[in-house]
Amino acid sequence: MRRILIATSNPGKVRDFAGAAAPHGIEIGSIPGFASLPAVVEDGVTFEENARKKAEEYSRHAAGEIVVADDSGLEVDALGGAPGVHSARYAADQPHLADENTDDGANNARVLRELRKVPAEKRAGRFVCVLAAARDGRTLATFRGTAEGVILDSPRGTGGFGYDPLFYFPQIQKTFAELTAEEKARYSHRGAAFRQFLEWCDAGSRESGRA
């Protein structure tokens, strides 16, 4: 079984990746001693910049291994694309200067406050995920996935993390916090990006097999 290391301490992300990878014969692992590694400053202005920066830096701590890092977040049209790359720190007074992520509940509360007077038909938004795969400090490839939805005026569901309870997915009439692990792998932005990554892995394996 092939092994891919995921640069995250978020157990929700690890579950999302592991469930999608298993059918491809790929084991998802964590970078040894990840919690003790210096945090990478996510100061990029795009999801791709942050994902590449994290993948490259963390891959230097796992020689020869493929390391995958992602940057993902919520873009709300009525908020001019915010929270965007600041999604995990949106509750901070100045999210672009915050050193640490803020609480999911506080982030959700800020989005709800800012959308308080916005009618339902103008609450369109999307989840965006960019994955970067790197080895020994060099990016090998990047992958982008999106999911289009509507931001509710109150949370629904107890699963997921982040903005999942507010993000209603019309295609199956559920919020992301109401999805099973299988549904989330099928419909989410992270699932879409990770499927592209898995196809890339499979293509690489086929090439190696023919070599």
Catalytically annotated residues: 71
The candidate with the shortest Cα–Cα distance to 184, out of 6, 8, 12, 39, is 12
The sheet carrying 124-135 orders its strands as 26-30, 2-6, 67-76, 124-135, 138-151, 167-169, 174-175
Helices (H), 90-180: 104-114
Q: How far apart are CA 41 and CA 118, in angstroms?
A: 33
Residue 104 and residue 42 in contact, taking contact as beta carbons nearer than 8 Å:
no
Q: Is 121 exposed, middle or buried (0-12, 13-18, 19+ CB in 10 A)?
A: exposed
For 27, the 3-state DSSP assignment is strand
Provide the CA 194 distance to its chain's centre, in angstroms: 10
Q: How far apart are CA 126 and CA 90, in angstroms?
A: 16
Distances (CA, A) of 128 to 74, 180, 184: 6, 20, 14
